[in-house]
Amino acid sequence: MTPTGQDLSRLETEQQNPRTTDLDSLAPLDLVKCLHKENHTVAASVDYAVPAVAEAVEEILSRVRRGGRLVYIGAGTSGRLGVLDASECPPTFGVEPELIQGIIAGGNQALTTSVEGAEDVEEEGARALEEYGLKSEDSVIGIASSGRTPYVKGALRYARDNGAYAVALVNVSSSVIEKEADLVIRAITGPEPITGSTRLKAGTAQKMILNLITNSLMVRLGKVYGNLMIDLRATNTKLKDRARRIVMKAAAVDEAQAAELLAEAEGSSKVAIVMHLKGVGADEARSLLEKHAGQIRKVLESSEAL
């Protein structure tokens, strides 16, 4: 038994997978095929979690609109995936880095090096959120494939005690940490192809779910028009080219016009699109976007042009 009082051998993620018991005897191609076949089961487990993901997105959205932030917290692979997802949002959607943060047990060192025992102390999870300066408007998603990581349990308890929205993301049917959460997102991925190695199917499911959460949140915040990432930060050659193509598609202009609009909009694809489609200058476009919560579609549906 662990300090949490849970028998880990009973968890789905710790069971031996009957479909992969001869991995070490397979030829290279058969080995890769066998491992990859298990990946095909992951999406189905995420299907089950979709309603809970949607519920989480709407509550997180309401809190973000009140000045709240989203915090991922976890240990090992789960912690690294949270940090990865958070770090990709500013360049993709133009949000401030503070809006979505990832915290991993053991600190930044644990991103590249295993920090043994960092996940085993509940108080450390709570302390991490305290040092972060958690507010009641914030949302915390505790990620733990086993659903019993003490560090995550302590973090979720601290979040709820301080009025934040607490979500548990797990890969088992019954978990310890969900008792500390307002909502549980459960993707039951079953036995791993390599027994107990939850960086495989469980980690893949977690990455898929984190993508669903942040992408859906960004769409709802007006960072996407149609399926175009209109708030990306064009900080390199590739992204500058993408920004031009986004303006070309959304505003139905040629490359030269798109470049000219982006120059006037100081690099903002969103502002450039509104300028052309509403026939206004950059300042007017920014004002319209601010009035309509950054939603291009709402700006275009309005009858006003300043």
228: DSSP letter: B
111: DSSP letter: G
Distance CA 301, CA 51 (A): 30
Burial of 28 (0-12, 13-18, 19+ CB in 10 A): exposed
Is 119 among the catalytic positions? yes
Q: Give yes or no for residue 306 having a pLDDT over 50.
A: no
> Encoding tokens for residue 164?
């934040």
Q: Check residue 221 and give its pLDDT.
A: 94
Of the candidates 14, 88, 137, 260, the residue annotated as catalytic is 88
Is 12 among the catalytic positions? no
Which residues make up the CATH 1.10.8.1080 domain(s) of the chain? 237-301
Instruction: Note the pTM of the prediction, 2 decimals.
Output: 0.90
Q: Check residue 1 and give its pLDDT.
A: 43
- Tell me which of 2.40.50.140, 1.10.8.1080, 3.40.50.300, 3.20.20.70 is the CATH number of domain 237-301: 1.10.8.1080
Distance CA 251, CA 91 (A): 22
Helix (H) or strand (E) holding 71: strand 70-74
- Identify whether the C-beta of residue 58 lies closer than 8 Å to the C-beta of residue 212: no
Write down the mean pLDDT value for the chain: 93
- Identify whether the C-beta of residue 188 lies closer than 8 Å to the C-beta of residue 86: no
To which residue do tokens 């940490």 refer?
A: 177
- Tell me which of 3.40.47.10, 3.40.50.10490, 2.40.30.20, 3.80.30.20 is the CATH number of domain 8-220: 3.40.50.10490
Q: What percent of the chain has pLDDT over 90?
A: 83
Candidate from 179-193, 232-246, 273-287 with smallest mean pLDDT: 232-246
Q: Give yes or no for residue 60 having a pLDDT over 50.
A: yes
Which residues make up the CATH 3.40.50.10490 domain(s) of the chain? 8-220
- Identify whether the C-beta of residue 78 lies closer than 8 Å to the C-beta of residue 103: no
Q: Give yes or no for residue 142 having a pLDDT over 60.
A: yes
Cα 186 to Cα 52, 98, 200, 269, distances in angstroms: 8, 27, 16, 37
Per-residue pLDDT, averaged over 63-69, amounts to 97
Of the candidates 12, 38, 119, 180, the residue annotated as catalytic is 119
Tell me which residue of 95, 106, 108 sits closest to 152, measured CA to CA.
106
